[in-house]
């Protein structure tokens, strides 16, 4: 009897041990799940084959990129090699080879299709002095481009390509931009292919950077690199807000300070070049200077309330209108001016040959004079505004 009890106890022990092993290693044999989700709260990724949740559209720029990207193009330029004066001398070539023969020059930039007729807006420095210009669309099509006109003073150029069914960008209202607005920069940096970067409007109305004659830049921290010049700066709706034109950099790459020419400026240049073949600007012949606090106090004006005239060109439009050195111009054509760049832009916007009012402050008091602007000549010295 004792031996039977011992055998029974050993059998039960073996069975319990086997049951423990099965329950631990193969619970499904006992109809139990191996998951511990009901015990320990965890976040599990959806299993393969399950459709992921849609990305929140409010946090994505996909619609803006999709709307604007097709109209942003890459621009390749080339300039033929230039032979030196001695390259035809056989003795020179015998001793020095072909060193006098320079290598062909190539360039890379971006542009924006702004019209179904094939007009492309880009920077003047992208196509300047190029012998051949090729435009490459985002869909892979290529076309030789013709230069319709350039405006070096704003660093803008208009090209034309002969293709059909062109994607066209929508022009936005750059004057409505505010600091902090989100923007995208689209272009072909370093030739790697079309790239979209994002950032915000860091500042507006940047001037006195020494880049262009007429400066009113949008500053952004969206990454802009070499090759982005002439590309698009767009808002979150994909509307064109500016033409990317320059960066501030100590390394040659983006450091978070980029500049774009506002669409308002680009539109005026586009219309003028397509209509007249050139941009016509007003000129009155004065030497302006920003109003210092000391000068402002002597005139009884607030600092920044105008621009003081330090010189007047003899027999120029301003001299004929009665403007004298020491005058403070506070408004041009009814628009207030407080800095030299603002005065320059306001005068340039005047129609040559058409009289316009200038609000002037002198020590004797305030008056308004009528000035008839001449046509601005880019060959004139910058001192003659």
Q: How far apart are CA 318 and CA 358, in angstroms?
A: 10
CA distance 269 to 292: 33
Buried b (16+ CB within 10 A) or exposed e, 117-146: ebbbbbbbbbbeebeebbbbbbeeeebebe
Q: Is 165 a catalytic residue?
A: no
Does residue 207 contact residue 217 with C-beta atoms inside 8 Å? yes
Active-site residue (options: 229, 254, 345, 356): 229
Find all residues with CB under 8 Å of 262, minimum gap 6, and list them. 174, 175, 177, 216, 217, 218, 241, 242
What is the rounded CA–CA span in Å between residue 164 and residue 346? 39
Structure token pair of residue 6: 């011992």
Pairing label, strands 132-136, 72-79: antiparallel
CA distances from residue 280 to 136, 357, 375 in whole angstroms, order as listed: 31, 19, 7
Handedness of CA 77, 80, 85, 90 (dihedral sign): positive
| Cα–Cα distance, 18 to 28 (Å, whole number) | 15
- The set of residues, in sequence order, having a beta carbon less than 8 Å from that of 179 and lying 6+ positions away, is 200, 201, 202, 203, 204
Tokens, residue 333: 């054509």
Selected catalytic residue, list 151, 155, 290, 327: 155
Instruction: Identify the active-site residue in 74, 110, 125, 359.
Output: 125
- Examine the residue annotation and report whether 239 is marked as an active-site residue of this protein: no
Quick check: is 229 catalytic?
A: yes
Rounded to an integer, what distance in angstroms lies between the CA atom of residue 266 and that of residue 218? 12
Catalytic residues: 125, 155, 229
């Amino acid at each position: 009897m004792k031996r039977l009890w011992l055998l029974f106890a050993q059998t039960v022990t073996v069975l319990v041990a086997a049951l423990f092993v099965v329950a631990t290693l193969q619970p499904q044999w006992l109809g139990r799940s191996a998951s511990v989700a009901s015990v320990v709260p965890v976040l599990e990724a959806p299993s393969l084959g399950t459709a992921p949740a849609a990305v929140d559209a409010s946090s994505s720029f996909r619609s803006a990129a999709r709307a604007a990207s097709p109209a942003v193009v890459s621009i390749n330029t080339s300039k033929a090699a230039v032979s030196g004066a001695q390259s035809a001398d056989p003795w020179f070539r015998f001793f020095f080879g072909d060193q006098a023969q320079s290598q062909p020059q190539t360039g890379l930039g971006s542009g924006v299709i702004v019209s179904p007729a094939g007009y492309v807006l880009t920077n003047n420095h992208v196509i300047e002095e190029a012998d051949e210009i090729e435009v490459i669309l985002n869909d892979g099509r290529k076309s030789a481009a013709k230069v319709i006109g350039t405006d070096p003073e704003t660093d803008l150029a208009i090209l034309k390509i002969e293709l059909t069914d062109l994607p066209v960008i929508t022009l936005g209202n750059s004057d409505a931009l505010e600091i902090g607005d989100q923007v995208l920069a689209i272009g072909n940096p370093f030739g790697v292919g079309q790239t979209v970067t994002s950032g915000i409007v860091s500042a507006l109305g940047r001037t006195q950077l020494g880049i262009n004659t007429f400066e009113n830049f949008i500053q952004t921290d969206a990454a802009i690199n070499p090759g982005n010049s002439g590309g698009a700066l767009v808002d979150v709706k994909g509307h064109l807000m500016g033409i990317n034109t320059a960066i501030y950099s100590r390394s040659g790459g983006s450091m978070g300070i980029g500049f774009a020419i506002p669409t308002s400026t680009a539109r005026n240049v586009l219309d003028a070049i397509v209509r007249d073949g050139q941009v016509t600007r007003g000129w009155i012949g004065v030497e302006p200077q920003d109003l210092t606090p000391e000068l402002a106090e002597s005139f009884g004006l607030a600092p920044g309330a105008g621009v003081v005239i330090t010189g007047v060109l003899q027999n120029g439009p301003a001299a004929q209108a009665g403007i004298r050195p020491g005058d403070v111009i506070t408004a041009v054509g009814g628009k207030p001016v407080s800095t030299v760049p603002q005065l320059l832009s306001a005068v340039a916007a005047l129609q040559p040959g058409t009289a316009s009012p200038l609000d002037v402050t002198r020590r004797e008091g305030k008056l308004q004079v009528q000035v008839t602007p001449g046509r601005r000549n880019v060959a004139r010295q910058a001192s003659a505004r």
